Amino acid sequence: MTREITYAEAVCEAMSEEMRRDPDVFFMGEDIGVYNGAFGVSKGMIQEFGEERVRETPISETAYVGAAVGAAMMGMRPIVELMFSDFMAVCWDQIANEASKVRFMLGGAVKVPMVLRTASGGGTGAAAQHSQSLENLYCHIPGLKVVVPSTAFDAKGLLKAAIRDDNPVIFLEQKKLYRVKGLVPEEDYAIPLGVADVKREGADVTVVTYGRMVQMSLEVAEKLAAEGVGVEVIDVRSLVPLDRETIIASVMKTKRAVIVHEAVQFSGFGAEVAAMLADSEAFFHLDAPIKRVGAYYTPIPFNPILEASIFPTPERIEAAIRETL
């Protein structure tokens, strides 16, 4: 049976179902119990699972992320919530130098099956220290997997796969998506990491994107369809591992590529995708230069008008597509 629920409810369902399925799974973070987390994602979980498995932590990301790494090494499967992805700067050593490397350094004798969930992105007036999209930092660290779901369906299926994975997974939930509804099955399902999704097929240009930019790109694709322009929209979903084959095949078909993400464009994930395409068979099929659309290179303003002005918009995405055509 399929019903319509919010992105936040889909995340909560995934965590709850996995905790019922596996007693080694537990949840930890700041204000995730009675307060239900900063964005209300964990509503009802402490009432069902109790304080032993929904563990309130001190305001010390260094301490509780480090504790999660240790718990994972000892056979537990922690789900860790950071209120904002920006706070990963506080516990970067635990993520980049411990969680990501322990399995390699010990020759596979120890696994680190943990998920670090966090709210990413702007658009909510949370200003420069609570609004960043830092996914490219995590992608640069070998040993971490990085996931950015764009829909409620994907959020639930990808989170289940992440929880069952034996490696540390950074699970980025863009905060503007939490209240967006989508169709989600009640039945158990998981979406494999490393598999992109073609959200819309088209023959004239490929848009490679993820997170809340997927909906924006689909909006532009719908508009251009009325003019006879076929825009193929690929939702990467999993940045690491990356589904190179789907992206390359699409660009070879359409002969044009536009890469869209909310993160700062300079040195963003789009640069990696562009380089991958330039170094693949797709390069020889291109009829136009690869275009990127990302946020401008500036700290994110608190003022809502200024904030909105730095992020990609449908108008900027449309302009990039028209340039390639």
* Token duo for residue 5: 């629920």
Phi, psi angles (nearest 5°) of residue 255: 70, 15
Could you tell me where the DSSP H helices lie in the chain?
7-21, 45-53, 61-73, 92, 102-105, 135-139, 152-164, 213-225, 244-254, 269-278, 304-310, 314-324
Q: Is the dihedral of CA 113, 80, 266, 277 positive or negative?
A: positive
Distance, CA of 175 to CA of 120 (rounded, Å): 6
Q: Is the dihedral of CA 66, 101, 110, 160 positive or negative?
A: positive
* Token duo for residue 212: 């809340």
Q: What is the CA radius of gyration of the chain?
A: 19
Tell me how crowded residue 249 is: count the other CB atoms within 10 A of its CB. Answer: 16
Q: Is 113 helix (H, G, I), strand (E, B) or coil?
A: coil
Of 304, 320, 299, 100, whose CA–CA distance to 209 is shortest? Answer: 320
Distance, CA of 27 to CA of 49 (rounded, Å): 10
List, by residue number, the catalytic residues: 130
